[in-house]
Structures are given as C-alpha cells and as structure tokens.
Amino acid sequence: MTESNPYSAPQSEAGIAEEDYQPTIFALNGRIGRLRYLTYAMLYNIIIYFVLGIASALLIPVFASGTSSNSAGLYLLIAAFYFPMIALYTILARRRLHDLDKSGWLLLLFLVPLLNILLGLYMLFASGTHGTNRFGPQPTKNHPALWAGLLLPFIVTGILAAVALPAYQEYVARAQAAQNLPFGD
C-alpha cells in the first residue's frame, strides 16, 4: 500500500540530471550558443589574418615576378588556404545550427541570395534550445573570457587607432609644410 502525502517532496529518479558539456573552439561536433559562435568566429578571423599576413610577407617576393607559372602556383596556394578556412567556418556554423535544433544542411541557404542574410541573422539572434536536443547536451554557461575574446579585436583596433591617428596627423602637417616651401630652398 502506497501512502500519499501531499506535503512530501516530489519523487525523482536519482542520477538523472540534465547534462551539459564544455564546448571547445576546434571541435567538430556539439552545440555552441550565440556568444561562442561570435567569439569563435572572431578568433578564427584573428588567426587567419595573422597566418595570411605572415604568408603574404614571405610569399609576395617569390610570386612578384609575374610569370604564368608563378601565377598558377599562387592560385593553387590561395585555394589550399581557402578550402580549409571555408571548412572551419562551415563546421562552426553547423554547430550553431545544432544548438538551434536544426540540421546542418540548412547551411545550403547561404548559397541563395537574400536568404543567406536571413539565415545569418537567425543564427546570430535566435536563442538555442534549452536542455538536451537531438544533437547533444546543452553547452555550459558562458565564461567571462568569451566576452573578452569577443571584445579583443575592438580593443586592439582602438589601441592602433590611438597610436596611428596622431602619427598620421603629424605626417599630414609635415607634408603641408613641405608643399609650402619654395623649390629653391
């Protein structure tokens, strides 16, 4: 005989709790929320621009002669760089769609003009599903370092602007002063 006490705590099965996991930046599977999606995309951009800058500094002198064999090699090098980059961003976007409980095949809408804008806005502003969905457990709460990673490019740009603007203004002043000098001096 089971007793029914209206004042007792509700019964639950022990050990069954909503699980969540800590996403990593270069994982192939799993879910990521809006903030992680933006932060990881920013960090990917910083890494890619850094690598591209170094590669350009090293390879532009090699390909500067302009012969057709050099041009073909340059195009192959560019393709070898962009295909992994596109794969990286595709995996990132697929993980974001999985957080929205949508299939990664929805990424094909990025190939359709105007729908790609709507899909991008949806991925940026739509809230992910709560709890476990068919693509895995919910990601853990965001760490404050994610905000720092998102704001890092803006901070670096601000510092560079604070240094570059006075130097540019000084350069313009010297150029204007040099234009006002007579040619014989």
What does the domain layout of the chain look like in residue ranges? 23-142, 143-178
For the cut 80, the answer to whether the pLDDT of residue 5 exceeds it is: no
For the cut 90, the answer to whether the pLDDT of residue 20 exceeds it is: no
CA distance 42 to 35: 11
CB 139 within 8 A of CB 30: yes
Average pLDDT value for residue range 130-135 = 89
Residues forming a β-bridge with 44: none
Residues in the chain: 185
CB 81 within 8 A of CB 52: yes
φ, ψ of residue 22 to 5 degrees: the values are: -95, 110
Residues forming a β-bridge with 138: 20
Tokens of 46: 């910083």
What is the crossing angle of helices 115-125 and 68-99, to 10°?
A: 50
CB 95 within 8 A of CB 30: yes
For the cut 90, the answer to whether the pLDDT of residue 7 exceeds it is: no
Of 13, 31, 14, residue with least CA distance to 22? 31
CA distance 108 to 44: 21
pLDDT for the residue 37: 92
Radius of gyration of the chain (CA): 26
Residue by residue, DSSP assigns 134-166 as: TTBPEEPPPPHHHHHHHHHHHHHHHHHHHHHHH
pLDDT for the residue 86: 92
Which of 7-11, 112-116, 168-172 has the largest mean confidence?
112-116
For the cut 80, the answer to whether the pLDDT of residue 185 exceeds it is: no
